Amino acid sequence: MLKKILKIILMAIGGIGLGVVIAFLFGWLVMILWNWLMPTIFGLSTITFWQAWGLVILAHLLFKAGHHHEYDHDHNHDHNRWKEKFRAKFKEHFDEGEKSPAASDQQT
């Protein structure tokens, strides 16, 4: 039992450590890319690591905030409704006496 708890604690610490390393690398990558491209292309100044993270957060707020939770739920519902409408139209179309695509492929 103690080994199991210790394993869970070590996995949690490892996961947090991995998250910190990935966050550092992501901020560093944004900083490197900005400092390589933006001054040359647009004449902008270079940025620090924390300014790069500020840009990441700003981009998240501008492009993702407020849309993902509602969109994911509604998107799945709309997608299922669209699939059912498509199936009904498809069945209706081929039940009117026309051959299905599979039947016409077999005859050729």
Q: Say whether pTM exceeds 0.85.
A: no
Domain ranges across the chain: 1-64, 65-95
Asked if the model's pLDDT at residue 74 lies above 70, the reply is no
Q: What is the pLDDT of residues 26-59, one digit of tens each?
A: 999 999 999 999 999 999 999 999 999 999 899 8
With vertex at residue 23, the alpha carbon angle to CA 19 and CA 29, rounded to the nearest 5 degrees, is 145
